[in-house]
Amino acid sequence: MAELTRELLINKYWQEGKSLAQIAKQFSLPSASSILKVMRNFDIPRRTLLEAAALNPPPNLKRPNLQTSKELAYIIGVHLGDGCVNIRFDKFQYQWRVKGEREFVDNIARVLQLIGLNSWINRENDCFRISTASRIFVQWLTKLSLQNIETLLVSDNLKLSFIEGFYDAEGYLGIVHRQNRTFPHIWVKIGNTNLPLLEMCQRLLTDLGIYSRVYLSNRVKPPRQAYYQLTVPSYYWTQNFLSKVESCIPHKGLIMLNDKLASYPAPRIRPKKRTLREAYGGSNVRTKT
């Protein structure tokens, strides 16, 4: 049997990825603690818990369906809006949590089940919290960049599902009565401190034919973190948004908007102005050269 040298131990442990118990069995030593003592004498560092879990995953590890789908796009939107990751390396716990209304967490539970993940719901004061545990899912979710997400959302259905999740988590529907006006001020807003995220959502809405704008909110003053808002203004664009983005939360949906507006007269929608080319017949319009 070969002598247990420092170079041999480094090769077995770090290069081949064997555990202490496997090395002890190979060299006919009583237990893994014997190898551990030798490693301490040779000043060989041990793997971290994360590195060890990657080399030896548990056999009953849940493997969710991470193929691009409407359900996965919805979960990504929810995560970027209000998702929270809780990782405890000492207990190998990888949890993903979201807080919200009962209808919201029930819908998340249904979507998680469709991609192969179980979940549980707890009551916390005046809201509910849904949690799921999966190392593969959490690690995949936390490694996604905005560029990766925008590349995944190739179709209009995927874009709508992502916006639905983001709107359910972070958005709200505003209906404010204005004095001396016969019709209220209506808008949809989604607030976040991540400006590139809101700009990506604005591009997705443009692809879906919905007008929106992003601006810096004045409700947060320095030195606090800047807060931005994506706004879908006016009754026309809000109705267009809610007719395409179907929220699972009642007070954020089109039914709530129609119920609130039932007591108001019908809004006057201004016709779209013609361009100069349309007004003057197209070919007779002079352009600068």
Residue-level pLDDT, tens digit, the chain, 289 residues: 467 888 888 888 888 888 888 888 888 888 888 888 888 888 888 887 667 766 765 555 567 888 999 999 999 999 999 888 887 765 556 788 888 889 999 999 999 999 999 889 988 888 899 998 888 888 889 889 999 999 999 999 999 999 999 999 999 999 888 776 777 889 999 999 999 999 999 999 999 999 999 998 876 666 678 889 999 998 889 999 999 999 999 989 988 888 888 877 766 666 666 776 666 665 554 545 4
* Listed residue (128, 137, 161) closest to 248, CA to CA: 161
The alpha carbon of 256 is separated from its chain's Cα centroid by a whole number of angstroms, namely 25
C-alpha triplet 119, 155, 214: angle, nearest 5°? 85
Backbone angles phi, psi at 230, to 5 degrees: -100, 125
pLDDT value for 160: 96
pLDDT value for 196: 95
CB 189 within 8 A of CB 172: yes
Question: How many other C-beta atoms lie within 10 A of the C-beta of residue 250?
Answer: 11
Distance CA 230, CA 171 (A): 9
The alpha carbon of 127 is separated from its chain's Cα centroid by a whole number of angstroms, namely 20
With a CB cutoff of 8 Å and minimum separation 6, the contacts of 144 are: 76
Distance CA 182, CA 267 (A): 8
- The CA-based diameter of the chain, rounded to the nearest angstrom, is 96
pLDDT value for 255: 86
Distance CA 231, CA 251 (A): 17
With a CB cutoff of 8 Å and minimum separation 6, the contacts of 257 are: 173, 175, 186, 238, 239, 242
pLDDT value for 285: 47
- Say if residue 223 is preceded by a cis peptide, omega within 30 of 0: yes
- SS3 of the chain: the string is CCCCCHHHHHHHHHHCCCCHHHHHHHCCCCCHHHHHHHHHHCCCCCCCHHHHHHHCCCCCCCCCCCCCCHHHHHHHHHHHHHCEEEEECCCCEEEEEEEECHHHHHHHHHHHHHCCCCCEEEEECCEEEEEEECHHHHHHHHCCCHHHHHHHCCCHHHHHHHHHHHHHHHEEEEEECCCCCCCCEEEEEEEECCHHHHHHHHHHHHHCCCCCEEEECCCCCCCCCCCEEEEEEHHHHHHHHHHHCCCCCHHHCHHHHHHHHHHCCCCCCCCCCCCHHHHCCCCCCCCCC
pLDDT value for 62: 61
